[in-house]
Structure formats: structure tokens, C-alpha cells
Amino acid sequence: MATINKPKILVVGAGAVGGFYGGKLAQAGADVSVICRSDYQVVAEQGFEIQSCWGDFRFNPTRVLNCVDEYDDYPDYLIVALKALPELDLPDLISGVVGPKTSVVLLQNGINVESLTAERFPNSEIISGLAFICVNRLGPGKIHHMDYGRLALGRYPYGKSTAAEDIAELFKQSGVPCSISEDIITERWKKLVWNVPFNCISVLGGGLDTRAILGTPDSVEFVRKVMVEVCAVAVATGHPLDLEVIDRNINDTIAMKPYRTSMLLDSEAGRPMEIEAIVGNVVRIAEGYGIDTPRINCLYSLLSLHCR
């Protein structure tokens, strides 16, 4: 493993997810800078205050910047923890900081979120990443990590990568469980098995947390049927999932602390939601393969109306 000595890392989108994992990389000895907007003043003066079930800590980034253009260097790793929104031209946003040796880590939800970046930077290493974590932003510079926290990383679109292995090792050194997958797209489908039902229902149910969503046998059965539809689309795309993933997701969610999903928090704050990346793309992929997904279609249509 060709580990970089004190790698330079730039986090674009230092909210709850980006701030937390940026802080963990700093604990492992990396040189971590962040792009902040709404939290800029507080973070520049005080850093991040992180309450974590793994132990509270403070994260003082090497540099705190207002925009990508202020970073007058090329990082070894560019970690993108922004919401995956259709109105965001991510390749254009990050073009000035993707150097010849920069690995772009897309730590985002949804499916088919990597293609535009991969097309724009064909000579750059694209690492697709998934965060399995319950973490929220409490206020400017304040992050609350409640449960879980493991990461799955992999070279996009598939295969092995020294760059992915190196940053995974950094995460492990800081105490973050981090696995490497040679088929990261399958891992994305596995996460969608949870994200599609719980994110959608939390919003459409009027503010339900995970425990309330699984509060009755009928609601559990509905969640299960949505998950079955996600698995059917994954199979059609050549990424078959073991249906055991459904029971595991439901049982793990019952066992975890009640959690208000990121989509629900965005909805309540009036922020854009990742509807297209998490749900809309699944609907369109299903239509392309002729897969019937009536429950997912219904959730997508209702969420689209909710946002009008």
C-alpha cells in the first residue's frame, strides 16, 4: 500500500457527514481543509464541536474556506459530501481543485450519482462512497453523531484501487469501520433498500422517525414490499441482492435509536431534498428495464407533489 505521508484532503460540503468524517481523518493525521458556507464564521473561529457516540471531540480544520476557488492547491483527496441534487453542477464546481493526482471521493446518497463526474474527469480516480451513519447538524459548527458510522468505499465503476485502500486505512486508523468493495454499485443498491422507504415515508408521514415508521405490522409490511421492489430493479441492472438484506435492514432499524432521516430534516428546514438521486433515478431505471415498481412510483409522485 502506497500510503501518502500526511495526505492533503479537501472536504466540499462540510455539513454533518462531511464535518464528521473530515474530523475523523484529521484524527488519523491527515491535513484536512473544509469548504463551509452557512457555518463559515463559526467554524473558522471555533472549529467543529462533535458529539459522538464514539466519544466527543473537536475538529479544527487546517483551512476553512468559503468556496472551492479559495483553495489554491490540489488535494490528494477531494471528498464531496454535498447533497446529490440535479440543480448542482458538481463537475463544474470542483473543476479548479481536481489535479492530476487528485482522487475524487463522492460520499453521496442515491444511484447513478458518479457518471457526470467520471465523464468530466476521465483521467482522475473516482471513488464512490457510502456512509451508514445517523448524524445530524445541531447548529453552526455543531454535529451530533448518534449511531452507526461505517463506510463502504470502492473504485468507480468497479475493481480495485490503491487510492481507495489508502484512504480506507486512514479511516480505520481513526476508528471508523471502512470496507472496500470491488463492486461499489451493488453496495449503492443495498443502501437504497433502506433509503427509499425510510426517507420517503418519514417525509410523507408528516415527520415520522424510524421507530414510528415500523410501529405497526402493516407499516412493516409496506416497508418490506418497497424494499422488494428496490431489489427487483437492482437484479435487472445486473446487481443482484440477497433478499436477506431486507430482514437485516428492518431488524437493524428496529434495534437502533429512533432516527429522523436526512430527507425529513431537509424537508422541515425548507432545503432541497435528494428525491431524484434516491427515488427518481430508481423509477427511471425501472422503467427502462420494464420493471413494475408501483409503490416506489407512488412515493416518488407524492414527494414530487410535496415539493411543488
Q: Are 190 and 243 in contact (CB under 8 A)?
A: no
Q: Is 101 a catalytic residue?
A: no
Please name which of 142, 185, 111 lies closest in space to residue 43, comparing C-alpha atoms.
142
Q: Determine the pLDDT at residue 1.
A: 43
Select the CATH number that applies to the domain covering 8-182 from these four: 3.30.540.10, 3.40.1110.10, 3.30.70.100, 3.40.50.720: 3.40.50.720
Q: What is the pLDDT along the chain (308 residues), one digit of tens a residue?
A: 445 679 999 999 999 999 999 999 999 999 999 999 889 999 999 999 999 999 999 999 999 999 999 999 999 999 999 999 999 999 999 999 999 999 999 999 999 999 999 999 999 999 999 999 999 999 999 999 999 999 999 999 999 899 999 999 999 999 999 999 999 999 999 999 999 999 999 999 999 999 999 999 999 999 999 999 999 999 999 999 999 999 999 999 999 999 999 999 999 999 999 999 999 999 999 999 999 999 999 999 999 998 87
Choice among 101, 191, 225, 257 that is catalytic: 191
Q: Determine the pLDDT at residue 175.
A: 97
Measure the CA–CA gap between 49 and 58, rounded to whole angstroms.
Answer: 5
Q: Are 141 and 43 in contact (CB under 8 A)?
A: yes
* 110: Cβ contacts below 8 Å, ≥ 6 apart: 84, 188, 192, 195, 274, 276, 277, 278, 281
Residue ranges per structural domain of the chain: 8-182, 186-306
Q: Are 223 and 214 in contact (CB under 8 A)?
A: yes
Measure the CA–CA gap between 84 and 288, rounded to whole angstroms.
Answer: 22
Location of C-alpha cell 463492486:
183
Measure the CA–CA gap between 54 and 24, rounded to whole angstroms.
Answer: 11
Q: Is 223 helix (H, G, I), strand (E, B) or coil?
A: helix
Superfamily of domain 186-306: N-(1-d-carboxylethyl)-l-norvaline Dehydrogenase; domain 2 (1.10.1040.10)
Location of C-alpha cell 431488524:
251
DSSP 157-194: SSS--HHHHHHHHHHHHTT--EEE-S-HHHHHHHHHHH
Q: Determine the pLDDT at residue 307.
A: 82
Q: Are 165 and 136 in contact (CB under 8 A)?
A: no
Please name which of 302, 15, 294, 276 lies closest in space to residue 142, comparing C-alpha atoms.
15
Q: Determine the pLDDT at residue 4.
A: 62
pTM of the model: 0.94
Measure the CA–CA gap between 64 and 82, rounded to whole angstroms.
Answer: 16
